[in-house]
Amino acid sequence: MRRSNLWWGIILVCAGALLLLDNLGVLAPLNIKAGPLIFSLALIGLGVWTLWAAQRRSSFTTEELNIPLEGEEAHVSIDFGAGELRVMGGAPGGMLLSGTFEGVEYDVSREDRRQRVRLSSPSFVGPHIGPEQHRSWTMALSNAVPVTMNVKTGASSARLDLTDVQVTRLKLESGANSMHVIAPAHAGYTEIRGSSGAASLNVEIPEGVAARIRTTGVLASISVDRERFPHVEGEYRSPNYESAANKVDIKLDMGVGSISIR
């Protein structure tokens, strides 16, 4: 349990209890003007709620998660809050996803040939005092089937090494975070779309992979390797983009932050 939540909860409970006892006449009058009975009860309730909230947020356990591969293609949705996120290829044979998670909820379904997996941080209802607890997720995805991905992050550090994963579409939504993405090397055509409020986004494109890059950002700092991706007709594009066997189509919209593509 974080100390800030613990002490705030104790203070609120004690203050509420003192006011309640004073209102009931159990204690001698205090040298303060006691609030009404309902205020005392509400204060105690708020303190108990805060203690419960702190305990709930700090009760995440580390667990191993292995999801068997049961489709000819897959869609993986990741809704991650604060902390450290690591995604890579190389899941064990027969597995779509394998990893270690601190605090995770997941759902698996199938539609015809497509297997769907949704990973999210545990839902929470309660007051929040102090910084959000950081958690860590590390996972490996299958290299055997085409995959589409949605990745949504909060205040986090994220690294997505998709070099060996057959990602055909990647959608990124990020808050105030740092994200490093390594694009697929052998997926054929990959579409990458991203939007962010305030973040640092680095995209690494493997050698031998062509790219078409479009970026927007009112206050964003944008850096692109122009030797590999010359600026042509309002976009950055590999000279062999149309004929390349492996290529990525990137479109990024940044608010405040930096974009680096190399």
pLDDT in tens, 103-144: 899 999 999 999 999 999 875 544 444 444 568 999 999 999
Position 72 scores a pLDDT of 96
Q: Within this chain, do residues 136 and 67 fall inside the same structural domain, yes or no?
A: yes
Q: Within this chain, do residues 126 and 52 fall inside the same structural domain, yes or no?
A: no
Position 2 scores a pLDDT of 42
Q: Within this chain, do residues 71 and 45 fall inside the same structural domain, yes or no?
A: no
Q: Within this chain, do residues 19 and 88 fall inside the same structural domain, yes or no?
A: no
Secondary structure in 3-state letters for the chain: CCHHHHHHHHHHHHHHHHHHHHHCCCCCCCCCCCCCHHHHHHHHHHHHHHHHHHHHHCCCCEEEEEEECCCCEEEEEEEECCEEEEEEECCCCCEEEEEEEECCEEEEEEECCEEEEEEECCCCCCCCCCCCCCEEEEEEECCCCCEEEEEEECCEEEEEECCCCCEEEEEEEECCEEEEEECCCCCCEEEEEEEEEEEEEEEECCCCCEEEEEEEEEEEEEEECCCCCCEECCEEECCCCCCCCCEEEEEEEEEEEEEEEC
Q: Whole-prediction pTM value? A: 0.76
Q: Within this chain, do residues 185 and 72 fall inside the same structural domain, yes or no?
A: yes
Q: Which domain holds residue 21?
A: 3-57
Q: Within this chain, do residues 72 and 52 fall inside the same structural domain, yes or no?
A: no
Q: What is the pLDDT of residues 148-181, one digit of tens each?
A: 999 999 878 999 999 999 999 999 998 767 899 9
Higher pLDDT, residue 49 or 77: 77
Q: Within this chain, do residues 91 and 36 fall inside the same structural domain, yes or no?
A: no
* Structural domain total, the chain: 2
Q: Within this chain, do residues 16 and 124 fall inside the same structural domain, yes or no?
A: no
